[in-house]
Chains A and B, each alone.
Chain A
Amino acid sequence: MRARPDPPPTPLLEVNRISVRFGAVQALEGVSLEIRRGEIVAIIGPNGAGKTTLLNVVSGFYQPYEGQILFEGRDRTQLRPYDVAALGVARTFQNVALFKGMSVLDNIMTGRLLKMRGSFLLEALYWGPAMKQELEHRAFVERIIDFLEIQAIRKAFAGKLPYGLQKRVELARALAAEPKLLLLDEPMAGMNVEEKEDMCRFILGVNDEFGTTIALIEHDMSVVMDISDRVIALDYGRKIADGRPDEVRADQGVIDAYLGVAHA
């Protein structure tokens, strides 16, 4: 738990009564939540609770069949993933989705595509403003590389890296877009204690240094308690708790969900 000043009144993201269904499976049912600027919010819940579905809806990969999503106060329920990215939402994936055939540097530079402008021809010739632009973006990318301490692997092929480092590169690629909202799907899954500590440090650092609002899905409760300002718990596609980490941890509904008490 960290002390924070009161957040400004307009939330960065508002999700209003979202429902998602896959055939007969009700993945999300009337979920509402909001994420305020500058927060780190953890989304928890047992397997199949709908955490990743929620992330996929917010990032435009799934379309909800009812409900509404507001980003910075504007309705953006029906947007495609690339539109969402253009609005300033970046994400990582549960199973690491890197460009495996490209170098680490290229991966991160690709993450910056949205920020780049200019003509083909100049880029192809690597001349004039195109070169200046490339260098500026390179400088920003280098700052991220330094920040995440991956200088040593910048030329390595992403697909050849160990899992923990791949996750870190994926985070770097997401940061390259300078997102307003960063969505992390299990950023610490499959990591050892040391790697987890590093990742925690980076997430807190990103929040401090870049002022990025972060929503993350995480199973490790000690991590969740350490880094999040607020915790939202899902179970069977419904929101069952939303509050400060210590409140949610003490919530009887959350405890029941994790211990598997029979549902009425």
Chain B
Amino acid sequence: MLELLHAVLVAPFKDMAGSPTFLVEVLIGGLAAGLMYSLVALGFVLIYKASGVFNFAQGVMVLFAALTLVGLIERGAPLVVALALTMAVMAALAFAIERVVLRPLVNQEQIILFMATIGLNFFLEGFGEFAWGSDVKKLDVGIPDTSFMAWGVQVNRLELTAAITAAVLVAIMAVFFQRTRVGRALRAVADDHEAALSIGIPLNTIWIVVWSVAGLVAIVAGIMWGAKSGVQFSLSLIALKALPVLILGGFTSVPGAIVGGLIIGTGEKLAEVYWGPLVGGAIENWFAYMLALAFLLVRPQGLFGEKIIERV
């Protein structure tokens, strides 16, 4: 018994203290993975805030964006052109979603909109494979998946680039939300639909903007995950990783999505490396969900979510 406690509570920390460079490497790996989770979660938060829809199709949007990009590159488009075209495709998709899905269902129950996004999920999955094929594809963005040493710590080039890109994107979005007229309108819509309408904010335009931005986020997430593990169906499953991030960070909070992603990313890496051997490894796959579950018991609204006050 005492041995077990020692193995769980003392030994891992001893290991960490024993080799700080390795700990830093693990932390960096975790933060990098976490930023990518944040990106996917951010797509959810944006849409949820502005239209009150939990977008089940966010993961497939990542897959679809990556498939489109790779497909265009395979057909001989230079990277920059392919990227621009993919953005155009995601914007067109946002426009179509607003017209076909959101507008006819305005003022319906949340669950109905949720069901609609499940339909969207299957449509995009099928359409993506129909248009671009279902083989696993390699996405080469010109950054090698190799490491270099910095202050005695190994850093992966691809992970570092991904992390920096994610951080820049998040910063740009923060400025966009705080400073611009459209950003202000977005926050207004997220806060109160009726009031936003009454002061002249066109809800439909805002929805197109939000879904386009979510599409843009999906492209970035798709490129990063695709470059790492190939563009394939399993890419859409990273949306499942965004769920614990959302539970941790709160569905309505942009900083929550970022911090939640970082916590989940580093948490699961640490757990895998230091506690994994105790139970034979593979903690990474379920640790995030367990953490989220524990969190739900203590703080159901998430770290930064709006406190749920039910009036009776």
- Taking a contact as CB atoms under 8 Å apart, the answer to whether B200 and A177 are in contact is yes
Interface positions, chain B 159-196, Cβ under 8 Å from A, are 175-176, 179-182, 184-185, 187-188, 191-192, 194-196
Nearest chain-B residue to A86 (Cβ)? Answer: B200
**Which residues of B have CB within 8 Å of A81?**
197-198, 200
B207 smallest CB distance to A (angstroms): 13
**Chain A residues near B187 (CB, 8 Å)?**
99, 101-102, 110
Known contacts A90-B198, A90-B199, A102-B187; A116 and B192 CB within 8 A of each other: no
**B201 an interface residue at 8 Å Cβ cutoff?**
yes
**Chain A residue contacts of B203, Cβ below 8 A:** 82
The contact of B195 among A99, A106, A109, A124, by CB within 8 Å, is: A99
Convert A82-113 into 0s and 1s, putting 1 for each residue whose CB lies closer than 8 angstroms to a CB of B: 10011000110100011111100010011101
Q: How far is the CB of B244 from chain A (nearest CB, A)?
A: 24
Question: With A97-B195, A97-B198 in contact, do A110 and B185 touch (Cβ < 8 Å)?
Answer: yes
User: When each residue 62-82 of chain A gets 1 if its CB lies under 8 Å from chain B and 0 otherwise, what string results?
Assistant: 000000000000000000111
Q: With A102-B191, A123-B179, A124-B180 in contact, do A85 and B198 touch (Cβ < 8 Å)?
A: yes
Asked if residues A111 and B199 are in contact (CB atoms below 8 Å), the reply is: yes
Select the residue from A111, A114, A123 with max chain B CB neighbours within 10 A.
A123
How many inter-chain residue pairs (CB < 8 Å) link A and B? Answer: 82
Chain B residue with the shortest CB-CB distance to A85: B200
Determine the chain A residues whose CB is within 8 A of the CB of B198 once the complex forms: 59, 61, 81, 85, 90-91, 93, 97, 174
CB closest residue in chain A, given B206: A82
Partner of A82, one of B180, B197, B306: B197
Find out whether the CB atom of A98 lies under 8 angstroms from the CB atom of B195. yes
Which residues from A are CB-within-8-Å of B194?
A: 61, 93, 97
The answer to the question of A120 belonging to the interface, with a C-beta cut-off of 8 Å to chain B, is yes
Contacting residues, chain A, for B201 (C-beta < 8 A): 82, 113
Cβ–Cβ < 8 Å partners of A238 in chain B: none
Neighbour of B199 across the interface among A102, A118, A173, CB < 8 A:
A173
Query: Smallest Cβ distance from B20 to chain A, in angstroms?
Result: 40
A147 close to chain B: CB less than 8 A: no
Q: Does A210 contact B (CB under 8 A)?
A: no
Interface of B: prevailing SS: helix
A81 to B194, CA, bound (A): 9
Give Cα A102–Cα B186 distance, bound, in whole angstroms: 12
Cβ of A258 within 8 Å of any chain B Cβ, yes or no, is no
Other-chain residue from A91, A98, A106, A126 in contact with B192 (beta carbon distance below 8 A):
A98
Residues of B within 8 A of A124 (CB): 175-176, 179-180
Q: Please state if B197 and A116 are interface contacts (CB–CB under 8 Å).
A: no
Least CB distance from B204 to A in Å reads: 9
A173 surroundings in chain B (CB, below 8 A): 195, 199
Query: Which residue of B181, B182, B191 is within 8 Å of A99 (Cβ)?
Result: B191
| B199 pairs with A110, CB closer than 8 A | yes
Task: Flag if A101 contacts B199 (CB, 8 Å).
Answer: no
Residues of B within 8 A of A118 (CB): 181
Tell me if B126 counts as interface (CB < 8 A to partner A).
Answer: no
A116–B195 CB distance below 8 A: no
Q: Is B202 an interface residue (CB 8 A)?
A: yes
Please, which residues of chain A bring their CB within 8 A of the CB of B175? 124
Q: Distance (Å) between the CB of A105 and the closest chain B CB?
A: 12
A80 to chain B, nearest CB (A): 8
Question: For residues 8 through 55 of chain B, which have their beta carbon under 8 Å from a beta carbon of chain A?
Answer: none
- The complex places the Cα of A120 from the Cα of B198 at a distance, in Å, of 23
Say how far A134's CB is from chain B's closest CB, in angstroms: 9
Neighbour of A177 across the interface among B176, B185, B195, B199, CB < 8 A: B199
Q: Contact between B192 and A113 (Cβ–Cβ < 8 Å)?
A: no
Instruction: Kindly identify which residue among A111, A123, A174, A177 contacts B181, using a CB–CB cutoff of 8 Å.
Output: A123
Looking across the interface, which residue of chain B has its beta carbon closest to that of A114?
Answer: B200
Q: A85-B199, A85-B200, A177-B200 are in contact. Are A101 and B179 (CB under 8 A)?
A: no
Instruction: For the complex formed, measure the closest distance between the CB of A138 and the CB atoms of chain B, giving whole angstroms.
Output: 13
Chain B contacts with A in 188-243, Cβ cutoff 8 A: 188, 191-192, 194-203
Alpha-carbon distance between A123 and B177 when the two chains are bound, in angstroms: 11
Please list 22 pairs of residues, one from A and one from B, whose beta carbons are closer than 8 Å in the complex, sorted by A's number: A61-B197, A80-B202, A82-B197, A82-B203, A85-B197, A85-B198, A90-B198, A90-B199, A93-B194, A93-B198, A97-B192, A100-B191, A101-B191, A109-B184, A110-B184, A110-B187, A111-B199, A113-B185, A113-B188, A114-B200, A120-B176, A120-B181
Interface residues of B (CB under 8 A from A): 175-176, 179-182, 184-185, 187-188, 191-192, 194-203, 306
Question: What 5 pairs between A and B have smallest CB-CB spacing?
Answer: A85-B200, A97-B195, A99-B191, A81-B197, A123-B180
